[in-house]
């Protein structure tokens, strides 16, 4: 790989990784919201801890 290609590949991998983490957190939050919807909990309490 050339210098510029390596830098671009590193940026693409980092962006894909960060997007995957963000999407996993969204799905987790959505599923936990469904599971805890009927539970009486203090305002602002988030799952998982």
Instruction: Quickly tell me which residue has 């962006």 as its tokens.
Output: 15
Nearest 5°: the CA angle 15, 19, 25 is 150
pLDDT digits 0-9 by tens, 1-49? 677 799 999 999 999 999 999 999 999 988 888 877 777 777 777 665 5
Q: Rounded distance, CA 49 to CA 32, Å?
A: 11
pTM of the model: 0.64
Cα 27 to Cα 22, 30, 34, 37, 40: the distances in Å are: 9, 5, 11, 15, 22
Give the pLDDT score at 18.
Answer: 98
């Amino acid at each position: 790989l050339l210098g510029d290609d390596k830098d671009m590949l590193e940026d693409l991998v980092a962006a894909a990784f960060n997007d995957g983490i963000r999407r996993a957190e969204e799905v987790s939050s959505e599923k936990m919201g469904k599971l805890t919807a009927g539970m009486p909990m203090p305002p602002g309490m988030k799952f998982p801890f």
